[in-house]
Amino acid sequence: MNLVRAHILVCGGTGCTSSGSEKLITEFETQLSRVGMADEVKVVKTGCFGLCALGPIVIVYPEGAFYSRITPENVKEIVDEHIVKGRIVKHLLYDESVKDEEIMPLNDTNFYKHQMRIALKNCGVIDPENIDEYIALDGYKALGKVLTEMTPEQVIDIIKQSGLRGRGGGGFPTGLKWDFAAKQPKGQKFVGCNADEGDPGAFMDRSVLEGDPHSVIEAMAIAGYAIGADQGYIYIRAEYPIAVNRLQIAIDQAKEYGLLGKNIFGTDFSFDLEIRLGAGAFVCGEETALMTSIEGKRGEPRPRPPFPAVKGLWGKPTILNNVETYANIPQIILNGVEWFNNIGTEKSHGTKVFALGGKIKNTGLVEVPMGTTLRTIVEDIGGGIPNGKKFKAAQTGGPSGGCIPASLIDVEIDYDSLISIGSMMGSGGLIVMDEDSCMVDIAKFFLEFTVDESCGKCAPCRIGTRRMLEILTKITDGKATMKDLDNLKLLAHSIKASALCGLGQTAPNPVLSTLQYFEDEYIAHIVDKKCPAGVCKNLLQYKIVPEKCIGCSLCARQCPVNAISGEIKSPFVIDQSKCIKCGACMSACKKQAIVKE
Amino acid sequence: MKSLAELEAIRNKTINAMNIRKDGENGIRIVVGMATCGIAAGARDTLNAISEELAKRNVSHATVSQTGCIGMCRLEPIGEVLEPGKEKVTYVKVDREKAVRIVNEHIINNKPVVEYTIGAVEK
């Protein structure tokens, strides 16, 4: 019998997999066999560590050496130096994790220091395809406790008292939802998990399912016990192949161990789970559309009430929770209500996972206590804006959310504070924008998304959002008048008030919130016909400053449409009627003689 | 799964192997010099002996790793025990037998085997 003396953890999340982490695993195994250490060193494929910008990531324990951006060529060096000789390969380490030549514990680095991991507790720690590792870290203990020591009412009470609110965006109290479903007459009931995650830029649900699928399975079984359901469905988009695959492995393992199936823990409680694949329509993240899709029909929403807790899947009482919400449940059961209530703000307890993207150094996945300021997330955890640019705004909540301008960077983020400043939590996409981002263009981007994704069932959303997009296009083309701006506002408010489902009702939010904080940019587009950030192509002109131009003809040779002409050694000019505004001349010029205005 | 005891049994089976992944709280580190000199003197066998003994005794508060040449090649195989907040203890000429005693007395019972340390050997 031999002791495994070192673990090499390789990130197997989607981010690191796409940058080649699968190859690293095979290469590590080959190299370890070469030096004859395959038995004493274990290679583990884990879920996401969060620091996706620096992937693929490899952590070697017991030293806790955090290697970033590892290529298959680096593997031999790590094995020869670190594993065989015990010398950490310093030049491959994540530079933030080295201080005075010593490795810092990962939790002391800026990226992890401000984080608190509940939903992501096991992500990047365990092998998601090995149920034993989940059980070793207290997995399924909460389910065991619930089934053997508690009544369904007690479970619901705990969830209610914890104040846990839906992490999918709306922030509805989870305990209350469960209570509604539990109070329905006995009979067939269902537990559903919303893993549709349609917001552009959000990937926390995917990461939880990839890194810790058992936590969701365990929580769904607990929910089943609480409301009296024996069947659950996980609705997940087919665009998440790694997550789907690991989830299926996890379900199979749980069935094999009898943690799903009949008479779990020797009790009367039976629970089974099935995966339902979605085709990736944004509207199917809306709960009524999601259920219609599970039933095998076209994914379209229906009016509420009746709420799913009363009439859900196949007309039976159903609860639907988001992946991240479920990932919190076992921890609340194990650690208690008081523990959870001490985390976060008064009205929003616990933590929230954000997918950090856009103009930020540390793109990745972060989990912070509710009430953390945007400044901490952007500047400390995110590492600030690259290239010394200025922070302009952060977009939260995807196509349903809004913008937080730089002036509100110290706002403490929770459900209510975001609503009060005209945005919303949403599922947790957080897109950072710098001074080069045009807010009208951002609003247009999200509206294009909603127009594409509108299911077409109700007129306000189907026709209204398209009209809004037309006005926005007019604005960015420099053809709009102030009257158009008034119409845009009127449309936005009418759609908000009249659309059938959440998708339509929130579709105008990106426009409304950018108007609230950046109306001057809209006016600059309309009145001055200028895009202050220099993004909207139709309002841009590239010009050559005659005083700076040395007449080298470099720009003219780069121009794909031959719009630049002139004589060598005298200033060149751009023919605006030919220019397609590609910017090739500007990047070619060595004298910075070409400007955009 | 019929009972909590069954779950606990699976947990105990895996937990020791997982402890290695705790950041900065790994307790005792045992380091074996495995440069050319160490390997020639039989450090590979020493390392295996330590690993086997740790596994046999179910020790979860200590980890083993390799290191390069410590500089006293004539005293190889050398093994060092590093414990947070304590002086480093350096054992020299560690063979299989000594390794087993070091694990049992020093790592498990917290009493360094003075006679094997460099101070005792190099008098």
In DSSP notation, A358-402 reads ES-SS-EEEEEETT-BHHIIIIIIS---GGGPPEEEEEESGGG-E
* Regions of chain A short of the pLDDT cut 50: 1
ipTM, 2 dp? 0.79
SS3 A59: strand
Residues of B in contact with A6 (CB under 8 A): 20, 63, 65
* Closest residue to B7, CB basis, from A62, A135, A137: A135
The residue in chain B having the minimum alpha-carbon distance to the alpha carbon of residue A35 is B44
Q: Which fold has domain A6-106?
A: Glutaredoxin (3.40.30)
CA distance A268 to chain B (A): 11
Q: Other C-beta atoms within 10 Å of A514: how many?
A: 26
pTM of the model: 0.88
CATH hierarchy code of domain A439-526? 1.20.1440.230
Q: How far apart are CA A56 and CA A34, in angstroms?
A: 23
**What pLDDT is recorded for position A293?**
96
Angle at alpha carbon of residue B100, lines to B96 and B101, rounded to 5°: 120
The residue in chain A having the minimum alpha-carbon distance to the alpha carbon of residue B15 is A136
**What pLDDT is recorded for position A444?**
96
Task: Give the mutation candidate from A3, A37, A39, A271 for the B interface (greatest B CB count, under 10 A).
Answer: A3
CA distance B11 to chain A (A): 4
Residues of B in contact with A87 (CB under 8 A): 67-68
Q: Which of A281, A125, A298, A158 lies closest to A226 in space, CA to CA?
A: A158
Task: Give the mutation candidate from A1, A4, A5, A131 for the B interface (greatest B CB count, under 10 A).
Answer: A5
Q: Which of A444, A432, A451 lies closest to A538 in space, CA to CA?
A: A444
Q: How far apart are CA B102 and CA B81, in angstroms?
A: 9
Q: Cβ of A5 and B63 within 8 Å?
A: yes
Q: How far apart are CA A471 and CA A492, in angstroms?
A: 11
**What pLDDT is recorded for position A2?**
61
- Cβ–Cβ < 8 Å for A190, A231: yes
Bond from prior residue into A56 cis (ω within 30 degrees of 0): yes
Q: How far apart are CA A531 and CA A515, in angstroms?
A: 15
* Closest residue to B65, CB basis, from A42, A63, A126: A63
Q: Cβ of B1 and A3 within 8 Å?
A: no
End-to-end CA distance of chain A: 72
Q: Which of A543, A537, A547, A539 lies closest to A555 in space, CA to CA?
A: A543
Q: Helices A439-453 and A465-477: crossing angle, nearest 10°?
A: 150
Q: Cβ of A5 and B10 within 8 Å?
A: no
* Closest residue to B7, CB basis, from A1, A106, A141: A141
Beta-bridge partner residues of A320: A192
Q: How far apart are CA A320 and CA B75, in angstroms?
A: 66
Q: How far apart are CA A322 and CA A329, in angstroms?
A: 11
Q: How far apart are CA A306 and CA A309, in angstroms?
A: 8
Q: Cβ of A136 and B48 within 8 Å?
A: no
Task: Give the model's confidence band at B25: pLDDT under 50 very low, under 70 low, under 90 confident, else very high.
Answer: low
Q: Cβ of B48 and A125 within 8 Å?
A: no
For residue B106 the two structure tokens come to 């020093």
Q: How far apart are CA A119 and CA A327, in angstroms?
A: 5
CA distance A215 to chain B (A): 15
* Closest residue to A144, CB basis, from B7, B15, B17: B7
**What pLDDT is recorded for position A559?**
93
DSSP state of A268: S
Task: Give the model's confidence band at B3: pLDDT under 50 very low, under 70 low, under 90 confident, else very high.
Answer: confident
Q: Cβ of B56 and A1 within 8 Å?
A: yes
A541-596 is classed CATH 3.30.70.20: yes
B95 to each of A1, A4, B91, how far by Cα in Å? 19, 20, 10
Domain boundaries, chain A: 6-106, 131-339, 351-434, 439-526, 541-596
Superfamily classification of domain A131-339: NADH-ubiquinone oxidoreductase 51kDa subunit (3.40.50.11540)
CB pairs under 8 A between A and B: 103
- Cβ–Cβ < 8 Å for A503, A464: no
- Cβ–Cβ < 8 Å for A59, B41: no
- CATH code matching the domain that covers B22-121, chosen among 3.40.30.10, 3.20.20.70, 3.40.50.10860, 3.40.50.300: 3.40.30.10
Q: Which fold has domain A351-434?
A: Ubiquitin-like (UB roll) (3.10.20)
End-to-end CA distance of chain B: 60
For residue A340 the two structure tokens come to 């959870």
Q: How far apart are CA A133 and CA A125, in angstroms?
A: 9
Angle at alpha carbon of residue A108, lines to A107 and A110, rounded to 5°: 100
Residues of A in contact with B35 (CB under 8 A): 85
* Closest residue to A61, CB basis, from B14, B21, B56: B21
Q: How far apart are CA A152 and CA A228, in angstroms?
A: 8
Q: How far apart are CA A221 and CA A253, in angstroms?
A: 15
List phi, psi (to 5°) of A373. -80, 155
Task: Give the model's confidence band at B13: pLDDT under 50 very low, under 70 low, under 90 confident, else very high.
Answer: confident
For residue A238 the two structure tokens come to 């087919």
Q: Other C-beta atoms within 10 Å of B88: how many?
A: 10
Residues of A in contact with B34 (CB under 8 A): 84-86
Q: Which of A127, A126, A7, A10 lies closest to A72 in space, CA to CA?
A: A10
The residue in chain B having the minimum alpha-carbon distance to the alpha carbon of residue A261 is B1
pLDDT tens digits, A338-352: 999 999 999 999 999
Residues of A in contact with B21 (CB under 8 A): 7, 9, 61, 125
Q: Cβ of A258 and B68 within 8 Å?
A: no
**What pLDDT is recorded for position B123?**
67
Residues of B in contact with A62 (CB under 8 A): 20, 26, 29, 63, 65
Beta-bridge partner residues of A169: none
- Cβ–Cβ < 8 Å for A364, A342: no
SS3 A236: strand
- The dihedral through the CA atoms of A130, A135, A136, A142 has a sign that is positive
In DSSP notation, B33-60 reads E-SHHHHHTTHHHHHHHHHHHHHHTT--
Residue A486 identity (one-letter amino acid): D
Q: Other C-beta atoms within 10 Å of A228: how many?
A: 18
Name the strand (E) or helix (H) holding A141.
helix A141-149
Residues of B in contact with A84 (CB under 8 A): 34, 66
The strand order across the sheet containing A190-195 reads A272-278, A231-237, A190-195, A318-322
For residue A528 the two structure tokens come to 């001055």
Q: Cβ of A64 and B52 within 8 Å?
A: no
Task: Give the mutation candidate from A10, A135, A212, A253 for the B interface (greatest B CB count, under 10 A).
Answer: A135
Q: How far apart are CA B106 and CA A554, in angstroms?
A: 74
Beta pairing class for B79-82 and B89-91: antiparallel
For residue A20 the two structure tokens come to 């080649």
Q: How far apart are CA A573 and CA A583, in angstroms?
A: 14
